[in-house]
Structure 1
Amino acid sequence: MNELKIRNVFPDDLDCITRIEADCFPAAEAASKDSFKERISVFPQGFFVGELNNKIIGFINGGVTNENHIKDKFFKTMDLHISDGNNIVIFGLDVHPDYQKKGYAKKLMNHFIRSAKKDGRKKILLTCKEHLIEFYEQFGYINEGVSQSQHGGAKWYDMYLKLK
């Protein structure tokens, strides 16, 4: 496995991350280019890309809140972002299909967890589909069951990782 370089997102990464998102999620669930542009401008500190040989192959991004569950509106706009909030949410963890199942998603998640701890967050929140629950549990995430989220018309599960 080549060494994955993880860094904060740059505005110039917008087109690449938008393409990766479209490859990883159905259109109804994928974040739009405008959503990514807003996330990058509002909270680049919570947006990390993974590169192999100077090529972005994946990313993880989020926002901050005092809520204990992710509201669907948060997937569309950063209006709910509170920079000094207690909890950080993960909007998405994407690895291009050509690079999946090689440990890169784990590296991105571990980087995100370390960053959240360093920033003094209390919890990391996420929603995922049922087949990914076990993946997140390996990091210590707790499954709270079926989410109220209606995002993209899919069935989601609320999970959290307690940091403090």
Structure 2
Amino acid sequence: MALDLLKGIEEKGLLEVASRTRQHLSNIMRHAVHQELIDTNPAANLGGVTTPPVRRHYPALPLERLPELLERIGAYHQGRELTRHAVLLMLHVFIRSSELRFARWSEIDFTNRVWTIPATREPIIGVRYSGRGAKMRMPHIVPLSEQSIAILKQIKDITGNNELIFPGAVPYCL
């Protein structure tokens, strides 16, 4: 029965979905065994019954093309100005996109030039993952260069006194 389900998903070309479905089935059945609802895990031997999804490895930008990237970012004016600033800041601080998207001004210490990403954040109502903080659920301290501080000050001029550094086009309820 589970094999038919997985094969049906695979036949539709949804290899990643088939792989995750197999993992979920195995986890559910393992839980049922631990809860003594069933004796054995019928999904334990489903590994390898579907074609594994094709993994794409995206190449890094060669260092010699960095000036071109910076030039293109500087010339980007089709979208929101905050988008351009966000991309520039990411190049300086190397943090996760969710850490940046849901960053608060209260996390930035301009005097000591550090950004303290908390272990967790107060979630924004109706916004998935907005309560995530640092990846390891421990405060993460990010040193801020002069360039990062300059970018943050430009962002502050745009966003004003909003609690979020990047408030988005639609205001959130905090």
**Do they fold alike, i.e. is TM over 0.5?**
no
Normalised to the residue count of structure 1, the TM-score between the two structures is: 0.27
Larger radius of gyration: 2
Structure with greater strand share of residues: 1
Structure with larger RCO (C-alpha < 8 A, sep 6+): 1
Give TM-score, length-normalised by structure 2.
Answer: 0.26
